[in-house]
Structure 1
């Protein structure tokens, strides 16, 4: 097996195994040779070099990731190091070194024995997920790709969001088109190629919330149109007034699907969980609940109150400025 080391001076990381491959690069499990050989996750991203060097969009995004690392939020994966490595063919290999966590939420759910997660564990997972999302939104970051595979779970049950804020690093020459979120977790406004902001992450949170109960994706569309049909079959076709303007798919091209009770699909929902899920899965992004307001929802208030009673310091230090779900972000 190939084992390469990278450092500006002495060797720092030893590659052990490939743990992921994508269109933009490779993720390695590696050893940090300067820190007792502890494991790290090393993402190597190919970036086209310009005459001026690395594109400013990539530099800005990395600077933002570095800035967030100063907060050391418990529900955000830690960025440990950033390095560059010159490649042939006018390419730069950008190396991002993160803490290594060997399990994502998808694997965690697959390994969960029957009858599945209990209601208290589901509430704990949602609390951690929303605290991480609220932290990103408070810092004007839209994750854009929330899915179980991008949510890591430590052996102690701590959730950590990964792959956030990297959309412009990966595709700095690409417009932020609909090819952003894995189809099954993609918000309707993204599928329709309408303008979007933080509410896209809240839709994804709703899809993940439902999956915690059923241990299978909620909307399994095979194409963009099929994904919308799957959504409308459950939630009903939205009123025409909520349809975004200037999109290629007209409202009239979809049947007038009636809405179905969400408990038909997820019978285990208690009334408060049902209310939160319905507010996460609003078609109109302006009506969708924000991360800050979701954290104040009664479904989670009992969990937060219990944590505050036992350990006040363990509660998220969220600093959202308001509760709106359409917080603008730079794109």
Structure 2
């Protein structure tokens, strides 16, 4: 650890903590993930090594880059490139939703990242706003591969993955699943960006199924059968829905029909009917995405509206996707930043370590909750705050 100067605490979770640090040799700012478990914990060690192995496979501009992994005093550390914000912070700052153009740009980059993962047969299994990092130039990085696995039709996989609000129906009922669970999560998260509220804000697993059915109708027959077999749902019946509240009805007037159709194609009840990542990138929703073709550059940003502030001043710059401390262009951009008047820098400066409040949406017609059935269990994470869960 002598190689790094710890600057601040970024966040913490069940796994451990994430710290902002500076490489004393290169000057690069990094994020260091320190695990609570020691390397003597075989289960934790196996999980961490799997995450490292997967990250080394995934070299892509929209996937967070692992700089190094090391151990010190029996603890394991992962060092990542540092990225300024995560998408949850942007949602918190824009509680009525984000501009459609920015949503499209974020989702396009996410689909590129997931398409690359799926091409390598990697399933992420935990796509959510906290695990999407956003740079000051609007470049997205997918992070936290703690739940990720190499997908195989032969090997069984646990169904207790993904945060509940982004969990596909097959995960909720314990049915075998595939890469399409990542696409469901993308659809849920895209919808959340539109109005700042989760699409399916279930407070328990059975409530999550209720929220999904209220929007999309009954589970497909295979999933209904799996529901009846799952012991956590023993003695329960699927919630009956009197009136559907469709995606189109909820978001009409906020986004165009093409965007609504794109979401609908991602959150199909039948996994086989969901868009794959490759198909998503070819969807007409992305026809007007303008991509900077210059090598190793990202989107240019000028004066206008921002996901960080309603009014801002920013020099027109284009930063390298993977800037190095000695990069001439980066130094020029830093010089431009330093020229911004102090009172205009607030959109760039961020104090880490804040408490992330959970935003809940009230859903009417709740079913009656009785007894201690695990299906009704609400975890402390559901009731209290969201913490940074990853890099």
**Pick aligned residue for 1:84 from 50, 60, 71:** 71
Aligned to 1:184, the other structure's residue is in SS state: helix
Structure 1 unaligned blocks of 5 or more: 1-5, 88-92, 169-174, 317-331
Matched, 1:262 2:247: yes
Structure-1 residue corresponding to 2:237: 253
Alignment of 1:219-238 (within 5 A): 219-238=200-219
Alignment of 1:261-280 (within 5 A): 261-267=246-252, 268-280=254-266
TM-score calculated relative to the size of structure 2: 0.66
Matched, 1:288 2:274: yes
Structure-2 residue corresponding to 1:128: 109
Structure 2 unaligned blocks of 5 or more: 150-155, 299-391
Structure-1 residue corresponding to 2:16: 25
The CA deviation string for residues 66-121 of structure 1, in whole angstroms up to 9 with x for no partner, is 232xx3x111111111111242xxxxx2110011123111111222386x433222
**Pick aligned residue for 1:311 from 293, 318, 336:** 293
Greater RCO structure (CA 8 Å; 6+ sep)? 2
Structure-1 residue corresponding to 2:375: none
Aligned to 2:271, the other structure's residue is in SS state: coil
Matched, 1:103 2:85: yes
TM-score calculated relative to the size of structure 1: 0.77
Distance of 1:261 and 1:47 partners within structure 2: 44
The CA deviation string for residues 256-296 of structure 1, in whole angstroms up to 9 with x for no partner, is 42543312211223221111111111122222111111111
Matched, 1:145 2:126: yes
CA contact (8 A) 2:125 2:147 kept: no
Following superposition, which runs of at least 4 residues in structure 1 exceed 3 angstroms of deviation? 46-61, 165-168, 175-179, 241-252, 312-316
Matched, 1:42 2:35: no
Deviates more, 1:59-68 or 1:73-82: 59-68
Q: How many residues in Structure 1 have an aligned counterpart in Structure 2?
A: 287
CA contact (8 A) 2:21 2:31 kept: yes
